[in-house]
Structure 1
């Protein structure tokens, strides 16, 4: 049984992938990454987080920090993954890396002040040894 991501990828031909943006800006540097596990993994991430592709150029630039082919080759070399499951685990890796860039963690909350007892020192209980 094929997944939604696989069916979605099969509907789009992978020819003519050089895209020209405004002026001289040309995208096409990651053509070698157009292998099945990478495409399926990216499609899965897009379905998990549909707001990320809407970030435009930030979405595309976030992939520059992820060595996709190196990760796929390491996964194959480790011989821990079936070829059919590489895309699934690769999508988790891509998701976690993109989350660092596109969804940075919120600023930490300031530390709370220690509670100051206003009652005075505690009285020892009857029969309790004094320190």
Structure 2
């Protein structure tokens, strides 16, 4: 489901409508849990973990899937943004960044964001899994700066 949402082939609303049309079918309870998780604004398990990490630490002022208009680039959807301090946390997963065009688009977008005054932090699944405290400390330091 995360991969389909990230690719843009489906929307959360579309998945919810499809689920309602098939209530009671095998797997329905699992789909409900997945849809509830996805409705929290995260498009991947890694994003859900970072959201949970911030909530558990009592950190506020952030928005998931924050949209900004970038001159010459159009609308960018930021994984996790602290707009007041212009800090962006990009949560990188292999599913999204495994081909060259996606990798190049992401780098071009990051350069435009930096030129627009954003501090861009990149967090990967491995670091999140093995050292969540370091991820939290990095985010806190960037927001405080």
TM-score interval for Structure 1 and Structure 2 normalised by the shorter chain: under 0.3
Larger Rg: 1
Could you say which structure has the greater relative contact order, defined with CA pairs below 8 angstroms and 6 or more residues apart?
Answer: 1
The TM-score normalised by the length of structure 2 is 0.24
Higher strand share goes to which structure? 2
